[in-house]
Structure 1
Amino acid sequence: MEETKAVKTVVSGMRPTGRLHLGNYWGALRNWVELQDKYRCFFFIADWHALTTAEDTVGLRDNTRLLVVDWLTAGLDPEKCVIFRQSDVKEHAELALLMGMMTPISWLLRNPTFKDQLQELYKARYKGQEDKMRKAEGVTKALAEAHGHEADDMALHSDMATYGFLGYPVLQAADIALYGAEFVPVGRDQLPHLELSREIVRRFNRAAGKPVLTEPEPLLTSSPMVPGLDGRKMSKSYGNAIELGEDPKSAEAKIKKMFTDPKKIKADDPGHPEGCVVCAFHRIYNPDWKVREEECRAGKVGCGTCKKQLFELMAPSLSDFKARREPFERDPALADRILAAGAVKAKAAAAELMAGVNSALRIK
């Protein structure tokens, strides 16, 4: 895309946790492909963010390359947008450090995602070790109560509640502000997270005495609700995801396990599409989904048949993505070349911004 002052800047990123799943695609990546033709776009691999919840860094570099390949397969074009790795641009850390000096701890503690994700990670760590988990909960509960805290705040006092995890909204705000982003593509459920970034930018600008950072606006994107197999948000950490380009047999097995209406026991029982994972996917892949929902409510179709037809609707697109991915996979060094080229462009923009920030704060 030809860069001009009239073109607005969009920034967004994804954590490298392996192959992308359908929630990633329908929730963000599909919109990114459209945005690259309309805006000056910076799309980054958030590898530092991945460390906030990672038990280790095994596979981090490989997952980064896998993510780049999936982006290319979906249609992102490095000639139209800047694709880079967060850790290649050290200014992300520099700006996050400065923002952290001005961000109240109370703002971070109010972030509901912090505690919710901690609870999920805590349960995942001790899955299959219930006795050990109960023992750990007892120790953490006693520690919390000894310090005058509510027992319900156990997650906050666990060893998984790290400084980086608590402070990730600060790094996120730096990621956005570093490139002067006017817009951040988000869904309505992400608006509170972006508002925290906006608050951090406003406070930073007040401290600097002038609007050295751009306050980003939400770019509300249209995306369908993509639940996980169990009805929760689709996430690899929950073990409820279907990958883009997933093997047909594996995808079929997962679809058979999808959560359905628990009150619809027999095929001719009236169903309730609301809350049914299978029906949610029919809304995405079935052009006649409204007819299907009426059939479900009338007890004219069973859950087994509905799942079978859903697989038949999804299989072509999964196979097509897998086929389009293969040419990119044949060149193992492709991702590294794209990231290196993107880093040059990102560093230039970041350095310019930080020069203004350091000057405004009278550091340099």
Structure 2
Amino acid sequence: MRPTGKLHLGNYMGALHNWVNLQNDYECYFFVADLHALTTDYADPSNILPNTREVMLDYLAAGLDPAKSVLFVQSQVKQHFELPLYLGMITPVGWLERVPSYKDMQENLAEKDLSMYGFLGYPVLMASDILLYQPKYVPVGQDQQAHVELTREVARRFNNFYKLNGEEVLPEPDVLLTPSPKLPGTDGRKMSKSYGNTILLSDPEPEVRKKLKTMVTDPARVRRTDPGDPDKCPVGDLHKVFSSHDTLEKVYAGCRTAGIGCIECKGWAADALVQILNPIQERRAKYSDADVDDVLKDGAARAEARAEQTMAEVRAAMKLA
């Protein structure tokens, strides 16, 4: 993840929750993408370092275990600088320009000048991040499949040009689709830091309840006596993800008959969120700055050792060694 600030529930349900489960069955590498942050925040990188620590703390708090997974910061593994240069030599500009997020980000960040080599080439950096570890799978949601497909195309092109003793060096990784439930922010739109509508993993209980009280609901419920529909309500969407079956039944019955008010319904949603967030925050509190430093140092060493195995093969295949 890019270090743009503390992580929120959307990040947790969209990725972290799945990652925690995957580490029990796979050899996993998870990093904070500080180099990617420079593609848009190059003019003022002052927040990247403190945000990197916050994101890593959220990784650990969510349950990523340094004994099971390799946790590191992208810029601390120098092979993440080297492979993009080689892959950039063989990647057509047209491939980069057709990446769906290329124009989307230019439109969404119109206030920033993104006509930079680094921004155009960030899909090559992303492909390198993946291919450095010669993986079989990349765990992503459906919206990220285009990036993995580009990675496969880059690997295929590299293997067409270069082989090592007749063998292909870079595998074409498969997408490992992970569930990513719809999770609205407090204003009903997708939960996103850029919208200012997030519930952070580190928000204390009073803050969670305060944010839920202001959350938008089914517009049909103008008055307390008006019936509503949880399927048309952002609070209802939160219940579907986090609440128990019994609570969900009460929500549907009470909302559709106007038997409950939105305040009571929001309180039940807050109860469910707090049950999820409390153990996350308890784990977060156990890690000191020194602990995080140790995790990052060990993770960088392990990632670098694995990445260098790949780079030795890449250099040899390209006749650069």
Normalised by the length of structure 2, the TM-score is 0.90
Is 1:201 aligned to residue 166 of structure 2?
no
1:171-320 residue pairs with structure 2 within 5 A? 171-209=125-163, 211-288=168-245, 289-320=248-279
Contact kept in structure 2, 1:32 and 1:76, CA below 8 Å = yes
* Aligned counterparts of 2:197 and 2:107: Cα–Cα separation in 1: 17
SS of 2:187's equivalent in the other structure is coil
Q: 1:69 aligns with which of 33, 41, 57?
A: 57
User: 1:32 corresponds to which residue?
Assistant: 19
* Aligned counterparts of 2:256 and 2:93: Cα–Cα separation in 1: 49
Contact kept in structure 2, 1:245 and 1:319, CA below 8 Å = no
* Aligned counterparts of 2:119 and 2:298: Cα–Cα separation in 1: 30
**1:167 Cα offset (Å):** 1.7
- Counterpart residue type for residue 198 of structure 2: A
Q: 1:78 aligns with which of 66, 71, 74?
A: 66
* Aligned counterparts of 1:91 and 1:178: Cα–Cα separation in 2: 8
How many residues get paired?
A: 315
**1:298 Cα offset (Å):** 4.1
**1:25 Cα offset (Å):** 1.2
SS of 2:289's equivalent in the other structure is coil
Unaligned runs of 5+ in 1: 1-13, 126-157
Contact kept in structure 1, 2:230 and 2:251, CA below 8 Å = no
User: 1:352 corresponds to which residue?
Assistant: 309
What are the superposed Cα offsets for residues 124-152 of structure 1, whole Å, 9 maximum, x if unpaired?
x5xxxxxxxxxxxxxxxxxxxxxxxxxxx
What are the superposed Cα offsets for residues 203-239 of structure 1, whole Å, 9 maximum, x if unpaired?
2221225521011111122332222223333221221
SS of 2:255's equivalent in the other structure is helix
**1:31 Cα offset (Å):** 1.5
**1:99 Cα offset (Å):** 1.3
SS of 2:31's equivalent in the other structure is strand
Percent of aligned pairs with the same residue?
A: 48
Q: 1:110 aligns with which of 91, 98, 101?
A: 98
* Aligned counterparts of 1:237 and 1:341: Cα–Cα separation in 2: 33
* Aligned counterparts of 2:160 and 2:148: Cα–Cα separation in 1: 19
* Aligned counterparts of 1:33 and 1:283: Cα–Cα separation in 2: 21
User: 1:42 corresponds to which residue?
Assistant: 29
SS of 1:15's equivalent in the other structure is coil
**1:188 Cα offset (Å):** 2.1
1:131-150 residue pairs with structure 2 within 5 A? none
Of residues 352-361 and 232-241 in structure 1, the stretch that sits farther from structure 2 once superposed is 232-241
* 1:231/1:102 CA distance change after superposition, 3 Å: farther
- Counterpart residue type for residue 309 of structure 1: W
**1:181 Cα offset (Å):** 0.8
Is 1:121 aligned to residue 109 of structure 2?
yes
**1:275 Cα offset (Å):** 4.6
User: 2:121 corresponds to which residue?
Assistant: 167
- Counterpart residue type for residue 303 of structure 1: C
* Aligned counterparts of 1:233 and 1:73: Cα–Cα separation in 2: 23
* Aligned counterparts of 1:182 and 1:290: Cα–Cα separation in 2: 41
User: Over aligned residue pairs, what C-alpha RMSD do you find?
Assistant: 2.0
SS of 1:51's equivalent in the other structure is helix
SS of 1:174's equivalent in the other structure is helix
* Aligned counterparts of 2:90 and 2:257: Cα–Cα separation in 1: 58
Of residues 278-287 and 57-66 in structure 1, the stretch that sits farther from structure 2 once superposed is 57-66
Normalised by the length of structure 1, the TM-score is 0.80
**1:294 Cα offset (Å):** 4.7
**1:180 Cα offset (Å):** 0.6
**1:269 Cα offset (Å):** 2.9
What are the superposed Cα offsets for residues 44-74 of structure 1, whole Å, 9 maximum, x if unpaired?
1111011122252113222222222222222
Q: 1:59 aligns with which of 43, 47, 50?
A: 47
* Aligned counterparts of 1:222 and 1:121: Cα–Cα separation in 2: 28
